[in-house]
Amino acid sequence: MSVWAGLIGQEEAVDALARAVEDAGDPAGPGPAMSHAWLITGPPGSGRSTAAGAFAAALQCPADGCGDCPTCRTARSGAHPDVHVVRSDTISYGVDDARELILRSAVIPSDAPWHIVIIEDADRFTEEAANALLKVLEEPPRHLVWVLCAPSAEDVLSTVRSRTRSVQLRTPSTTEVARALQEREGVDPAMAAFAARASQGHIGRARALATDEEVRQRRQEVMRIPATLRDLSSCFTAAASLLGAATEDARTITDALDDREMADLRRAYGEGADGVSAARIERMASRAMKDLQKAQKSRRTRAVRDQVDRALIDLMAYYRDVLVIQLGGAVALINDEMRPQLQSEAALCNPADTTARLEALDRCRQSLAANGALPLILEGLMVELKDPAILVR
C-alpha cells in the first residue's frame, strides 16, 4: 500500500508532494516541483505528521513510496538513520535547540539520497530560534531537505515562510473519516459515524474514540460538565476534576516514555554490563539523568495542557450545538447523540449567553497557549460558563 494511503481527503496535497518526489529523482538534478525546504500546514488532526513522514519515505524509497519496503517502514516510524524527526516536548524551541538542529542537519546521508529533517511543531520556535535557522533554510547542503509542520502559515515567521514551499492540508469531512475507520480499522458503521462527528475531523482522535472505551468515557465526563455548574463550589469542583483527568491522561501518555528513556540512558552508561554497579551508574549518569528528568517534566507539562485543550474543544462543540438549536440552524449537530440534553440547555438560556460561553472558552484556550496558570484559568472559565454575564455586572 502506497505511503500516501494514510492521508485522508488530501488529494491536492498528495499530488503536490508526489510530483516533488518524481522531480527529486530526476538523474539530471531535482526538477522545479522539488524544493529543499517545505512547510506543511493544516488544522489539528488533518495529518501533518503523516504527510511529512509519507513525503520522507517517498523521497528515500527506490520506488517513490511503495509503502512496503524497509525504507518506507523505517522512514515513517522514525527509525530511518537519514530521517530525523523532531517533536517538541516543551512549550517552545529556543536558540540552543535551533543550533543543535543545524549541527545535526549537516550530517551526510549514510545510505539514502537525502538527509531529511522533519520538525513537527515549527510554530513553537521562538523568534530568535527561527532566525537562527534562516540561512540553512535558504542555502541548505544539496543533500538536505527540511520539512516544517505547523497549524497554519501565519503561525510561522514570515522570514521562514518565504524560504519554504507550502503545502496546505484540510480538515477531512466526517464522511471521509467514517469511511476510513470502517475500511482500515474495521469499526462498526454507527461507531465510526459517532467518532467522525465527535472528533471534528481529527483523525487520531476519531480512531481513539472509535476503539477505546476509556477515551469515550472521559469525553462523556467532559460533556457532563455544563449540567453540573450550579453554584460557585460546583465550578471549582468541575475545574479541579477536569485538570485532574487531564493530568492523569498525560501521565498515562508520558510514563511509559519516561521509563523507556531512563532505561535506555542507564544501559548507555553500562547497566547490565559485567562489573558495573548501580552506584557507579548513578555517579556517572547523574548529570545526564538530571537533564533527562528536566526534559521529561517539560513534556508532562505540555501533555497536560494538550489534554486540557482537547477538553475545551469538546466543550466548544457542545455549546456550538446549543447555539445551532437556539438559532434553528440547518446544519448537523456534532453531538447528535446528546440532542435531548442539548435541547434542555438551549431552553434554559438565550443565544447571547451561549455566544458568551463560546467566547469564554476561546479566551481560555488563548490563556492556555500563553502558558497561564491552569487552576486559575479553569476556575475562571467554569464561573463564566455557569453565569456568562458575570463580567458585565
Q: Which of 34-43, 245-254, 286-295, 330-339 has the lowest mean pLDDT?
A: 286-295
pLDDT band (50, 70, 90) for residue 17 = very high
140: left (phi over 0), alpha (psi -120 to 50) or beta: beta
Give pLDDT, residue 379: 96
- Name all contacts of 323-332 with Cβ < 8 Å and 24+ positions apart: 323/351, 323/354, 323/355, 323/358, 326/350, 326/351, 326/354, 327/351, 332/197
Give pLDDT, residue 170: 92
pLDDT above 80 (res 318): yes
Give backbone dihedrals phi and psi of 149, rounded to 5 degrees, phi first: -125, 140
Highest-pLDDT range among 11-15, 102-106, 181-185: 11-15
Measured between alpha carbons, how far is 309 from 20 in angstroms, rounded to an integer? 35
For the beta sheet containing 37-41, the strands, ordered from the edge strand earlier in sequence to the opposite edge, are 83-86, 115-119, 144-150, 37-41, 165-168
Measured between alpha carbons, how far is 115 from 104 in angstroms, rounded to an integer? 10
pLDDT above 60 (res 391): no
Q: Which of 39-43, 191-195, 259-263, 315-319 has the lowest mean pLDDT?
A: 259-263
For the segment 259-288, the average pLDDT, to the nearest whole number, is 72
pLDDT above 60 (res 105): yes
Percent share of the chain, pLDDT over 70: 95
Give pLDDT, residue 76: 84
For the segment 247-274, the average pLDDT, to the nearest whole number, is 76
Give pLDDT, residue 236: 96
What tens digit of pLDDT does each residue of 32-83 get?
Answer: 999 999 999 998 878 898 999 999 999 999 999 999 998 998 888 777 889 9
CATH architecture under which domain 3-168 falls: 3-Layer(aba) Sandwich (3.40)
139 contacts 56 by C-beta, under 8 angstroms: no
Give backbone dihedrals phi and psi of 38, rounded to 5 degrees, phi first: -125, 150
Give pLDDT, residue 89: 60
Backbone CA torsion sign across 33, 36, 42, 48? positive
- Spans of all domains in the chain: 3-168, 175-211, 232-392
What tens digit of pLDDT does each residue of 114-163 get?
Answer: 999 999 888 888 888 888 888 888 888 888 999 999 999 998 888 899 99
104 contacts 133 by C-beta, under 8 angstroms: no
Give pLDDT, residue 274: 67
In terms of Cα–Cα distance, which of 47, 312, 329, 307 is closest to 170? Answer: 47
What tens digit of pLDDT does each residue of 356-390 get?
Answer: 999 999 999 999 888 889 999 999 999 999 998 76
pLDDT above 50 (res 253): yes
What tens digit of pLDDT does each residue of 153-210 get?
Answer: 998 888 899 999 999 999 899 999 999 999 988 999 999 999 999 998 888 889 889 9
pLDDT band (50, 70, 90) for residue 393 = very low
The position carrying cell 453540573 is 228
Q: What average pLDDT does the structure give for the chain?
A: 88
Give pLDDT, residue 276: 65
Give pLDDT, residue 392: 47
Give the three cell numbers for residue 158. Answer: 514570515
Q: Give this prediction's pTM.
A: 0.73
pLDDT above 90 (res 302): no
Give pLDDT, residue 390: 62
